[in-house]
Amino acid sequence: MTPGADTRPFWAPRAWLAGRWQEGVLLRADAQGAWAEIVAGLAAPAGARVLSGLVLPSLVDAHSHAFQRAFVAFAERREAGEDDFWSWRDRMYRVALRITPEQLRAIAAQLYVELLRGGYTQVCEFHYLQHRPDGAAYEDPMTLSWALAEAAEDAGLGLTLLPTLYERAGFAQASLRNDQRRFASTTESVLALHRAAARSGRRRVNAGIAIHSLRAAAPASIHELRRLADGIAGPLHIHVAEQMAEVDECLRATGLRPIEWLAREGLLDARWQLVHATHALPAEIDAVARSGAGIVICPGTEANLGDGLTDLPRWLAGGVPISLGSDSQVTRGWPEEMRWLEYGQRLGLRQRNVAAQPGTQPATAARLFDAALAASAAPAGFAKWGLQFGARADFLVLDTSDASLLGAPSSHFLDALVFSSPGDAIRDVYVAGEAVIRERRHAAQDAIAARFAQAMSGLWEGPA
């Protein structure tokens, strides 16, 4: 907590604990902003801060490219031919090649306020934008990383920086394309960025590492980074099997599918987070389950890009940790991501309540939420997350008078939050015991929005 912060305990009439709504919950944070005491079944003690609403744990946004917030809605036209992930990517590079550190900070701060409103209080930045627009290194290699850290401070949410290995354009290419010049990195530079972030002492900033993808890093480099990562703290993220073209290229280059290759090489363990994992066969899912690795699904982005649908029932049945990410930022709240996740499965399988588990957890929203909550700590590099002793004191307060929840019985509040849309039920957001959103307003939102608008004007002068 910041010096002088209010240290009185909170009391909630109802909070989501251990997979169910519990009554009369006392929540006490310590001086470091971590939960020191959580007890249900109590009347409000004298002097407690009474929370007039439902208390729900926040989630971690486990996969974000903040700069892509500037590209939202700028690729939703098709003038000729076919449009797919690869054509979207080429157009997205326009932003990547132009954005300045000042613009990145402004855009990321706007995004991070939006993520707070969407129920996230920690973001994992899969950060591969490293150099000047001409590809030359900044005098301080952390320049763009600091822009993200400053944006997180502006907004008040936590940040896990994931400097990313990105060294080639594809399985058959030895180097990057010219329009990827800002992404160039090596195992040594990635580890140097990690060390700088981890030692920075910046408030609520920690670090892991990432590998962009199997197509973007040579096998020897992946093994070397994995070996060196044994000596550092934090998670290890990788994009994998997002597109069938990637799977086919991997098969041609290695004889194996991407997840299959990672498993056969003995790389996977509980530190790994496989982002997307869209095109995974049952044997690959079983291998991930045995390894202890987690997956990060980004339903809004995967729908927007036409990636396809992953085998959610198999991932759930295997007990694989499943977290959520905002990725390209077309959606910026976990209730919508969760809704997209379930609805995609319903469309693909022509069934309803695909994620429910009759006899154990028949409520679809509750099962998805608890799965994402349980999986939130590892991608961000934490040992604990949620309303439990020792976890950071982050939480949401829901307004039951919001149209999405109005009139719903308590047993169906989560169902309504996820499946009754549109809604604006998240009223207050707390990070480390301090309110960063009150009555749906962020204290700095107007100034942050003005800087965002100015940055967007600078980026998009002329035709988009």
Identify the active-site residue in 61, 311, 327, 402: 327
What's residue 462's pLDDT? 59
Domains of the chain: 10-57+386-445 (2.30.40.10), 59-380 (3.20.20.140)
What is the pLDDT, as a whole number, of residue 135?
97
Say what the pLDDT of residue 340 is: 97
Q: Return the pLDDT at 80.
A: 81
pLDDT of amino acid 108: 98
Q: Tell me whether residue 327 is one of the annotated catalytic residues.
A: yes
Note the pLDDT of residue 453. 98
Task: Determine which one of 63, 127, 194, 276 is catalytic.
Answer: 276
Residues of the chain with pLDDT under 50: 464
pLDDT of amino acid 79: 83
Active site residue 307: no
Q: What is the pLDDT of residue 122?
A: 98
Strands 54-56 and 59-64: unpaired
| Per-residue model confidence (pLDDT) at position 231 | 82
What local confidence, expressed as pLDDT, does residue 243 receive? Answer: 95
Q: What is the pTM of this model?
A: 0.97
